[in-house]
Amino acid sequence: MQITAGMVKELRERTGAGMMECKKALGETDGDMDAAIELMRKSGQAKADKKAGRVAAEGIVVTLVSDDAKQGVILEVNCETDFVGKDSNFQDFSQAVAALILDKQPTSVDDLMATVMNGDETVEVARQNLVSKIGENIQVRRFERMQSANGILGKYMHGARIGVMVEIEGADDGLCKDVAMHIAASKPVCVDESGVAPALIQQEKDIFVAQAEASGKPEAIIEKMVEGRLRKFLGEITLLGQPYVKDPDKTVAKLLSETSSTAVSFHRYEVGEGIEKKVENFAEEVMAQVGQTA
């Protein structure tokens, strides 16, 4: 059976493997897609090691809160393709890792990977086995554990790609979820001005001063212009200063004051943020391979 470029492309999308690897597997299975996938899965742990260097910028975020809302976990697990991010095996692994973090309370990713799960294997061994089964590089990238002594934890998931966990004192579950939803949408940097790095404030102030001086206005006016722009900047990046997404006429600070609640801390994860993604052109890759074999 003739192995077409379309068949190779489909197998790549379903397995995340290289073009030549997919072409070889299809050739050995006479073009049977499912048989080719099975053959590649049977290739074993040696294959998993080869995938370790590939960029894993897709995946899911998992949030988990204890029944008493006093402890929580936010976790990001990465894979190479959106297809695998939706795979039940990948999602089950990620959920199990989040539950393990909540139970065992590891202090770092390295500590987590050495923690035993499923009774007889570490998280790292389970990850390697999943890499062999699915055929993609999979990485447990990061997690945060949160505990609240005087408040409660709330969470919000936007699909499986954006997750938020927030700690609020004096709030109920509904308010916590609403604030977490706001954080997911508005991307604040920190709770209030006290959490903004002084270097960032100075950097923005210097920019505003330069812009104001270019206007040629008197120094006293320039000072007021800079103060106003700096207040606006801090309002845009701090949770309490932002207009509340469900009611832009009031800030989040006003929302919380109405119930005498206090936002303590939060974490917002978005899949792949900060990871440099490699953009591949399948047609160019095919032509490059043709050139090598010509």
Distance CA 274, CA 24 (A): 34
Contact 72, 95 (CB under 8 A): no
CA distances from 260 to 122, 170, 256 (A): 45, 6, 6
List Cβ neighbours of 18 (8 Å cut-off, separation of 6 or more).
Answer: 12
- pLDDT computed for residue 279 by the predictor: 53
- pLDDT computed for residue 15 by the predictor: 67
The residues that bridge with 77 in the sheet, in sequence order, are: 60, 140
130 phi and psi, to 5 degrees? -70, -40
- pLDDT computed for residue 55 by the predictor: 66
- pLDDT computed for residue 287 by the predictor: 55
For 259, the token pair is 């119930």
**Residue 68 CB coordination number (10 Å):** 9
Closest C-alpha among 143, 151, 172 to residue 64? 143
Give the pLDDT of the chain (294 residues) as one tens digit per residue.
788 888 887 777 676 667 777 888 889 889 988 788 777 766 543 355 456 656 678 999 999 999 999 999 999 999 999 999 999 999 999 999 999 999 999 999 999 999 999 888 999 999 999 998 888 899 999 999 999 999 999 999 999 999 999 999 999 999 999 999 999 999 999 999 999 999 988 988 888 888 888 888 888 888 898 899 999 999 999 999 999 999 999 999 999 999 999 999 999 999 999 876 655 555 565 555 555 554
Closest C-alpha among 23, 25, 45, 24 to residue 34? 25
What is the SS3 string spanning 154-222? EEEEECCCEEEEEEEECCCHHHHHHHHHHHHHHCCCECCHHHCCHHHHHHHHHHHHHHHHCCCCCHHHH
**Sign, Cα dihedral of 94, 98, 100, 104:** positive
Residue type, 177: K
List Cβ neighbours of 218 (8 Å cut-off, separation of 6 or more).
Answer: none
6 phi and psi, to 5 degrees? -65, -40
Considering the entire predicted model, what is its pTM? 0.74
The CA R_g of the chain, rounded to the nearest whole Å, is 25
CA distances from 141 to 44, 85, 144 (A): 23, 14, 11
- pLDDT computed for residue 220 by the predictor: 86
Distance CA 71, CA 69 (A): 6
Per the listing, tokens 């554990």 go with 145
- pLDDT computed for residue 46 by the predictor: 33
Closest C-alpha among 113, 141, 121, 139 to residue 16? 139
**Sign, Cα dihedral of 177, 182, 187, 188:** negative
CA distances from 65 to 140, 146, 154 (A): 19, 9, 7
Give the chain's domains with CATH numbers. Answer: 5-53+278-293 (1.10.8.10), 58-193+260-270 (3.30.479.20), 197-237 (1.10.286)
